[in-house]
Amino acid sequence: AQTVTQSQPEMSVQEAETVTLSCTYDTSESDYYLFWYKQPPSRQMILVIRQEAYKQQNATENRFSVNFQKAAKSFSLKISDSQLGDAAMYFCAYRSAPSGGYQKVTFGTGTKLQVIP
Amino acid sequence: DSGVTQTPKHLITATGQRVTLRCSPRSGDLSVYWYQQSLDQGLQFLIQYYNGEERAKGNILERFSAQQFPDLHSELNLSSLELGDSALYFCASSVGGGMSYEQYFGPGTRLTVT
């Protein structure tokens, strides 16, 4: 079974600084997608960034970028120039669709990010 | 605003009861997903429908069922409720049913079982 591990329950970062949230996963499949979601206190789930496993190039969305290491099964999120609005829970998610089988979705346990003014 | 609507926002009910949660996907989206977020289990995928047909099943209990109607809205039915079913239930929608499609989440329904 696929597992997603976020080993940092809580992180903090100074405003305008850079922080990296870690995520590792375990899978035997070769084709899958990885996502980072943000959940602010409002509880709304917001997609931050996604990465296709077959793409070697790391995904980037403005201040958010990932370091995708397929062989190491690692998918970390880097937030640059942290802003107060970045404070939230961040979830790493894995999604795959084995040939002929059901789509599978697995979330990590989340990392709570605090941004210090 | 993601364009996905969920009703009700909050629901309080007693153990043993049955409730129905409703989700309307974004205009044009054919696929609906249901997720449960609880303190004990974290975020779990329950079930997916695509254009009225069940497409994928996750950790959904037998006491729970869902369906997607011809107008593409979906309902999640929870029966014989237990205290442990207290959670935030999210609905998400996407244009297609495959894993590559971006999912847009609704605001969730907070269920409290007393």
Q: pLDDT truncated to tens, each residue of chain A (117 aa)?
A: 689 999 999 999 999 999 999 999 999 888 899 999 999 999 999 999 999 999 989 999 999 999 999 999 999 999 999 999 999 999 999 998 766 567 788 999 999 999 999
Note whether B88 contacts A104, CB cutoff 8 Å. no
Question: Of B114, B106, B89, B64, nearest to B10 (Cα)?
Answer: B89
For chain A, what is the radius of gyration of the CA atoms? 14
Q: Which of B56, B104, B105 sits opposite A103 (nearest CB)?
A: B56
Q: Which residue has the tokens 């009700």?
A: B8
Touching check for B59 and chain A: CB below 8 Å?
no
C-alpha–C-alpha distance, residues B89 and B73, integer Å: 15
Is the pLDDT at B48 greater than 70? The verdict is: yes
Touching check for B1 and chain A: CB below 8 Å?
no
Dihedral of the alpha carbons of B82, A105, B25, B2, in degrees to the nearest 10: 100
How many Cα atoms sit within 13 Å of A11 on the Cβ side? 25
C-alpha–C-alpha distance, residues A11 and B64, integer Å: 36
